[in-house]
Structure 1
Amino acid sequence: MWPWLVALAVLAFAGYAGWRQWHAHERADAEAAQQQVAALSERLNTLRAEQRSHARRLQQADSLNRVLRDELDGITQRAALLEASVERLADPDRHGAQALRLDETEMLLTLGGQRLQIAGDLDGARRAYALAAGVLEGIDDPAYLSLRQTLLQERTALDALGADPKVKAIARLDAYAQDVTAPAQRDATARASTAPWWRRAFGNLLQVQPTDRAVAVQAADRAAALAGLQLEISLARVAAERRDAPGYRDALRRADTWLQRLAPDSQALAQQRAQLQALAALPLSLTVPTLGSTLQQLRQLRAR
């Protein structure tokens, strides 16, 4: 009986010892596996950090490539501009006195056209075109012969304009104002002095005037109408100075209304109104159909 119990105890102790050794091996294997997982996780984090670093480097390299590409494009454009400059310098028309004369001619033609279009300076435009013609005469190249003919035609058109239409309109307007306002004042004074005794006595009580329109009879009304006429003529003069054709005609139309207030219908009034309409029809701006043709032709010749 006792030997079996001893054998059973030995077997139990051996089993327990074996189980503990196996359990120790399992624990060591688990710890080793955990260490390996931790090492792999750390390695994975390191790889991710390196990946992000590589991505940033790739972005920086891409940005640097774009900058270099833009700089290369700029260098290409500058090279093209330099090549164009060299080609222009190689052009025989760009050499020496001829190039300077052509530049001066173009500048004078541009200046003359601007003086005429912007400032309305006809004399200044003529002087600029005359200087341009003198400079162009010094160029012996037969390619510019047609250009001299075009410039001559344009100068002839400028000379045919005569005086500035604005100056003509203002001069005629001033003469008309003197012919209308001064006689109106003298006529009012003469009518007051030569009126019959009954008009002088009862003029403040009775007024005789056409029924179709109101004619100023009283001295105060006539003075107001005359002042209105003078004001509208002054406004027309100011509009003519600005070459404001609509304002000029509107002022003369209002002046015609004040003119009808000063006198009844008569042949003299009809003549004055006709003169006013003729003044309103006067041009204020300079019209030269061929203006700028020489400059355009010169630029085309130089471009070819």
Structure 2
Amino acid sequence: MKKTSEHYCQAMTELFGSNGKPLANLVMAIASYTDAKSTVEYSLSPLYNYQYSSIGKLFERLLDFVDGDISLFSKEIETFISSFNPQQTQTGVIKTQLDTLPVYKPHSPTHPDRSCVYKPNLTVKGNKPVEIGYNISSLNQGFDAKWSIPLSLQRVPTESKGIKIGQQQLITFLKTLEREKSFVINSCDSSYGCAGFLSELYEHENLVNIVRLKNRNIYDYSPQTDTGGAHKIYGQGYNLRRIDERSNRKNPKTKELALAQPSILEKQPDEITHYFVQTHKGRQVKVELKMFHQMCMRSQNGHSMKHKIFDLIVVDYLDLQPLHQKPIYLAVCGQKRA
């Protein structure tokens, strides 16, 4: 971690010259000092070794560095981030994370395009977990040492969806890479585990998405052509729940009552492996991984998932009995997922 930070700061100094060192100080302060309520308060961080007035002067010098062209400065930053990529040069594998983050602006009435965003309710029981603000779609590059840098930050307009903005960010990033030399493994949470996000990204050969799935039906990929009509693609369906867990999927009132699909754990896994991890209290806990190959999900809202198969990994923590009420379901989706 320390070597990675030193490498990052040294690279910034080489690119921005005399402005690189205070800029590196400011970046580290922003990343670590969470008590700051304004930009100038980052000067109170132990990692910022300059006076508070130097922050304003720093930005003036940076603008002079690019002759006042903000777009040119943004391109310089993008060039710096893309060039600082030690993981790609070593293995050719790039690990990224995609997420949508809320920014709270309840006291900014003149701020354009605000709406309701998610905020955990930890204050008053019964209050809805919402706040006034906007969402930011963040694409980060991760490293083995639990360290990441932002590749793209983009505001999500009120009329748009975060998964669509993130999808375009990922496609734009892929266009900057050499397809034969780079391979991207992208991780997302459950909000990205849908046909609207996965379908258009499946065509990129150098990309594999690992997304979390929740409370949905998946199917065996079982193509058949001798059906006398349309070719059959979907086989037996399964629900992502434990065997003894009741399905909470609601049946539409306009349709006849249908029985819930069997649990995915009733299906014989293609592979089973396990390893042990140690908790903070020193106790050994078994992590069990069950893999199911050749699975698929239904198309949705015009986003076709036909022939776009994935592997499902069920992650469970065991200590004689499962430690969590529900296991973690991960879909590994991509042409080169093996």
- TM-score between both structures, scaled by the size of structure 2: 0.19
Flag the structure with larger Rg: 1
TM-score (norm 1): 0.20
Structure with greater helix percent: 1
More strand as a share of residues: 2
Structure with larger RCO (C-alpha < 8 A, sep 6+)? 1
